[in-house]
Amino acid sequence: MARILIIGGGFAGCIAADMLCPKGHDVTLVEQAPFLGGGCKTFTYGGHPYTLGPRHFLTRREEVFEFLNRKCPMRRYDAGHEFLTYIERDQQFYHFPIHRDEIDEMPDRDKILAELAECPGADKARNLEEYWVFSVGPTLYDKFVDGYSRKMWGIESNTEIVDFGFTPKGVALKTGPKAAWSEAISGFPYALNGYDDYFTAATVDAKVHLNTTIEDFDIANYRVKIAGEWHTYDLIVSTLSPEIILKDAFGPLRWAGRDFLKIVLPVKEALPPEIFFLYYANAEPFTRIVEYKKFYHYDAPTTLLGIEIPSKKNKLYPFPMKEDQDRHRQYIEALPERVFSVGRSGTYRYLDVGNIIEQGMDVFRDV
Ligand SMILES: Cc1cc2nc3c(=O)[nH]c(=O)nc-3n(C[C@H](O)[C@H](O)[C@H](O)COP(=O)(O)OP(=O)(O)OC[C@H]3O[C@@H](n4cnc5c(N)ncnc54)[C@H](O)[C@@H]3O)c2cc1C
């Protein structure tokens, strides 16, 4: 039996506990917030359940869906589940990912089709701009990606971005059903408190310390300081950015953040029934609007919308730039064995919930 410390009680920390506790290890989980779940915790506003952003579940692996579904019964969205992008210069909403059939409805259809015929394909792309221009041509890139991505990261040019993990599911131009990511398993918990019961169930056999901050790290010696005392472990699972646990040894990593606005409207439903959220690719300051009812099926005469505005106030999106990715690699290489850096911040990757569960299942299966 090993003494294991898990730092952070978001999805990544809870999955680690779920995988490690049944093996008989002595697992301690430390979370600085007064609740488990991190970014996927459900709150309420005016009775409406919501998370900060959609937190919609997606995976390509049935076993990943089933792993969650076992403890957190999940509603599947096989069809009737779509996302749109507003393109102001066309005064139109189009599906996202960009759909081949909708090019025929665009005012600059002929130019786009001519550009598509000339596209070399993304094999030789060196950055996000080239990835899109080589895949769909400059006009579609300008409409759907250029402004959105620069707004999202607060940058001058998408040539700065070398990690195409940000490209939604690797799909540049879609054909077939218009429902977004129809090739992936998609869903959301049935419960009105979303994923919250999973976080409790996953950690039931761990010693959970909420409202607890780690004051100092001595990762080389598997020690952390809490309330003035050092505690030593056999193995550490960290879901924090490695710059924190290695005390800025290689300098800071950059992040993008979000401000979240909540707006209740006096209508039962604001978006068409099949539309779950909207992207805005123009000069407006926000990137996305989500209608929470679409996920929670909460029955009320009003509806709650969440609006996401890029911000520098919090660290939610790891930067997909070469300089930052190289620096992150230095941190990971400096970690001793038996220290696992997992989750979105720990791996400094644009991971979603499905990826986080998959990572937890794969990394801790043999620990
Ligand atoms: C706006 C937004 C919308 C998203 N929407 C979706 C979506 O629709 N679908 C999807 O699949 N994914 C979505 N994601 C991604 C998904 O939410 C993340 O992949 C997932 O929540 C990451 O889990 P995590 O445990 O790695 O991190 P977190 O949820 O951030 O958890 C980290 C935990 O560590 C705690 N912590 C931090 N510092 C300390 C410390 N010093 N000591 C102790 N504890 C600490 C935090 O309080 C937090 O609870 C979205 C992300 C964002 C930002």
- Cα-Cα-Cα-Cα torsion 38, 41, 45, 48, nearest 10 degrees, comes to 160
Half-sphere exposure of residue 52: CA atoms within 13 angstroms, side-chain side: 13
Pocket lining: 294 vs ligand 1, CB cutoff 6 Å:
no
pLDDT averaged over the chain?
A: 94
Cβ-count burial of 315 within 10 angstroms (0-12 exposed, 13-18 middle, 19+ buried)? middle
- pLDDT range class, residue 1, cuts 50, 70, 90: confident
In the prediction, which pLDDT does 23 show?
96
Residue 314 in contact with residue 258, Cβ under 8 Å? yes
Say if residue 106's pLDDT is above 70. Answer: yes
Q: What is the C-alpha separation between 300 and 199, in angstroms, rounded?
A: 27
- pLDDT range class, residue 75, cuts 50, 70, 90: very high
Ligand 1 centroid to Cα of residue 348, in Å, is: 11
Q: What is the C-alpha separation between 356 and 336, in angstroms, rounded?
A: 22
Q: Which CATH architecture is the domain 3-41+195-252+322-364 placed in? A: 3-Layer(aba) Sandwich (3.40)
Q: What is the C-alpha separation between 267 and 265, in angstroms, rounded?
A: 6
Q: What is the C-alpha separation between 308 and 148, in angstroms, rounded?
A: 13
Say if residue 166's pLDDT is above 60. Answer: no
pLDDT tens sequence across 274-332 = 999 999 999 999 999 999 999 999 999 999 999 999 999 999 999 989 999 999 999 99
Nearest CA, atom 18, ligand 1? 352
In the prediction, which pLDDT does 176 show?
84
With the most atoms of ligand 1 within 8 angstroms of its CB, the residue from 6, 19, 31, 59 to mutate is 31
Q: Which residues contact 222 (CB under 8 A, 6 or more apart)?
A: 232, 233, 234, 235, 236, 336, 338, 339
- pLDDT range class, residue 165, cuts 50, 70, 90: low
For the chain, give the percent of residues with pLDDT over 70: 97
Which atom of ligand 1 lies closest to the CA of 41? Answer: 29
* CA of residue 128 relative to chain centroid, distance: 19
In the prediction, which pLDDT does 200 show?
98
In the prediction, which pLDDT does 175 show?
87
Q: What is the C-alpha separation between 67 and 364, in angstroms, rounded?
A: 14
Pocket lining: 8 vs ligand 1, CB cutoff 6 Å:
yes
For the chain, helix (H) and strand (E) counts, in that order, are 12, 20
Ligand 1 centroid to Cα of residue 198, in Å, is: 15
In the prediction, which pLDDT does 167 show?
60
Nearest CA, atom 31, ligand 1? 10
Which atom of ligand 1 lies closest to the CA of 344? Answer: 26
Pocket lining: 259 vs ligand 1, CB cutoff 6 Å:
no
* Cα dihedral 257, 169, 291, 66 sign: negative
Ligand 1 centroid to Cα of residue 50, in Å, is: 15
Pocket lining: 354 vs ligand 1, CB cutoff 6 Å:
yes
* For residues 38-60, average pLDDT: 96
Domain boundaries, the chain: 3-41+195-252+322-364, 82-178
